[in-house]
Amino acid sequence: MDRLNDLRKEIDKIDEQILKLLNERAKLVIEIGKIKKEQNKPLYVPSREKAIYERLKSINTGPFPDEYIKNVFREIISASLSLEEVQKIAYLGPEGTFTHLAGIKHFGLAAKLIPLSNISDVFEYVEKKRCAYGVIPIENSLEGVVNHTLDMFMDSALKICGEIFLEVSHHLMNLSGKFEDIRKIYSHPHAIAQCRKWLSKNARNITIVEVESTAKAAEIAKGDASVAAIASEMAEIQYGLKIVEKSIEDYTNNYTRFLVIGFNEPAKTGNDKTSIMFSLAHKAGSLYNALKAFAEENINMTKIESRPSKRKAWEYIFYVDIDGHIDDEPVKKALENFSKNVNMLKILGSYPKGEK
Ligand SMILES: C=C(O[C@@H]1C=C(C(=O)O)C=C[C@H]1O)C(=O)O
């Protein structure tokens, strides 16, 4: 018993030291904030944050686990940044969506997260500078791309400043936590698609209803035990529901990738990604000729999508992600050559790669 008390006393002493150091650190962040404001520089610097996480991980001697260093420092940085200015972040709401979770994962709990009801509103909010950044979903590892997000980049001046990966798990939940009460299941079309096998096996006689978000489904389920939602754990907590069945998705390895959009153009970190969009002439070999520029510089392409241009029938806009930063020599050179073989090229941003 005495030993337990002694150890706790030691922990108390260490916590006091940590708190003292956190305050020392916060003072420096405030100083840096003043300089950035004077020089009109962005307060949030993702490249610096990434460098901090990477450096601490590389010098960690343990037993504190490497994989939680980022979580702890994410919150320290988030709270410190709020001393410079509370970061306002718009996201695809309502509260409890996976995008909400992604926003917290990236910006920490001290940021003010503002739920908006659709992807266009998030773009508009950031474009009109009503907040610093926006968080929107871009693709799911099982369902593919979120077309609406890709299309928004056609007419937007916003840049991609970051990406966030979130492992997605879907749970069936209602007010009572009892399967026999359920007559209808609500969810987002992507979530329903990801649970197709489970639903056809277990919910044949239950009506499935599509709504605009998993959180909206949870909100509806809050009022009536005969309505269940397929949603995230966050929605369960947010709306006071009980889980009927956990992880009902058909496949594991289900990740959603989110983008952070804003006017910030992050510096290179050595582990970055660049997103571009372009259009081509309707000629044999034009895509091949253009993409050759990346192969010649040994640049890995991590994604390619095409979308109708919406300007003219059967004309397409291509979206490509490549490894590297626009300030890396090979990327610069490749894009220079690439631009000679396309009709239109727009750089959507270079940003630190998200952790999977
Ligand atoms: C202190 C700074 O501002 C912010 C806060 C950081 C921190 O708490 O370490 C790091 C990067 C910035 O997002 C900085 O730019 O160095």
Amino acid at 77: I
CATH code for the domain in which residue 13 is found? 1.20.59.10
Q: Are residues 125 and 78 in the same domain?
A: no
pLDDT digits (tens, 9 = 90+) for 212-242: 889 899 999 998 999 999 998 888 888 999 9
Helix runs in the chain, H state only? 2-38, 46-59, 66-84, 98-107, 119-127, 147-152, 189-194, 196-202, 214-221, 233-239, 286-296, 329-339
**Chosen domain end from 84, 110, 127:** 84
Q: Are residues 77 and 110 in the same domain?
A: no
pLDDT at 1 over 70: no
Q: Are residues 72 and 117 in the same domain?
A: no
Q: Which whole-number Å values give the CA distances from 178 to 173, 183, 241, 298, in the listed order?
A: 9, 11, 11, 55
pLDDT digits (tens, 9 = 90+) for 21-71: 999 999 999 999 999 999 998 889 989 999 999 999 999 999 999 999 999
Q: Are residues 295 and 318 in the same domain?
A: yes
Q: Give the pLDDT confidence score for residue 238 in this predicted structure.
A: 84
Residue-averaged pLDDT of the chain:
93
Q: 3-class DSSP state for residue 226? A: coil
Q: pLDDT category, 128, cuts 50, 70, 90?
A: very high
**Helices 2-38 and 66-84, packing angle to 10 deg:** 50
Amino acid at 165: F
Q: How many distinct structural domains can be found in the chain?
A: 4
Residue 47 CA to ligand 1 centre (angstroms): 9
Please give all residues whose beta carbon lies within 6 A of any atom in ligand 1, as ranges. 29, 32, 44-45, 48-49, 52, 77, 80-81
110, two tokens: 């001290």
DSSP letters, 92-149, are E-STTSHHHHHHHHHH-TTSEEEEESSHHHHHHHHHTTSSSEEEEEEEETTTEE-HHH
Please indicate whether residue 107 is annotated as part of the active site: no
pLDDT at 96 over 90: no
Helix (H) or strand (E) holding 165: strand 159-167
Asked if residue 267 is part of any domain, the answer here is no
Which residue matches tokens 């400043």?
161
Pocket test for ligand 1, best of 38, 81, 106 (most atoms within 8 A of CB): 81
Asked if residue 16 is part of any domain, the answer here is yes
pLDDT at 190 over 90: no
Asked if residue 133 is part of any domain, the answer here is yes
pLDDT digits (tens, 9 = 90+) for 233-281: 888 888 999 999 999 999 888 899 999 999 999 999 999 999 999 999 8
Q: Give the pLDDT confidence score for residue 107 in this predicted structure.
A: 94
Q: Are residues 282 and 342 in the same domain?
A: yes
Please indicate whether residue 207 is annotated as part of the active site: no
Q: Are 86 and 131 in contact (CB under 8 A)?
A: no
Asked if residue 313 is part of any domain, the answer here is yes
Q: Are residues 238 and 209 in the same domain?
A: yes
Q: Are residues 141 and 193 in the same domain?
A: no
Q: If you average pLDDT over residues 125-133, what whole number do you get?
A: 96
Q: Are residues 180 and 239 in the same domain?
A: yes
CATH code for the domain in which residue 324 is found? 3.30.70.260
**In the chain, % of residues over pLDDT 70:** 100
Q: Are residues 13 and 61 in the same domain?
A: yes
Ligand 1, atom 1, lies closest to the CA of: 29
Q: Are residues 49 and 108 in the same domain?
A: no
**Chosen domain end from 50, 84, 118:** 84
Return the higher-pLDDT residue of 142 and 130: 130
Q: Are residues 120 and 161 in the same domain?
A: yes
Residue 178 CA to ligand 1 centre (angstroms): 47
Q: Which domain holds residue 284?
A: 272-352
Instruction: Report if pTM > 0.80.
Output: yes
Asked if residue 58 is part of any domain, the answer here is yes
| CA-80 nearest atom, ligand 1 | 8
Helix (H) or strand (E) holding 321: strand 316-323
Cβ neighbours for 255, distance < 8 A, ≥ 6 positions apart? 140, 141, 165, 166, 167, 168, 356
Longest Cα–Cα distance of the chain, Å, equals 81
Give which of 87, 145, 155 is closest to 123, Cα–Cα: 155
Q: Are residues 129 and 202 in the same domain?
A: no
Torsion angle defined by CA atoms of residues 43, 48, 54 and 59, in that order, rounded to the nearest 10 degrees: -100
CATH code for the domain in which residue 182 is found? 3.40.190.10
Asked if residue 185 is part of any domain, the answer here is yes
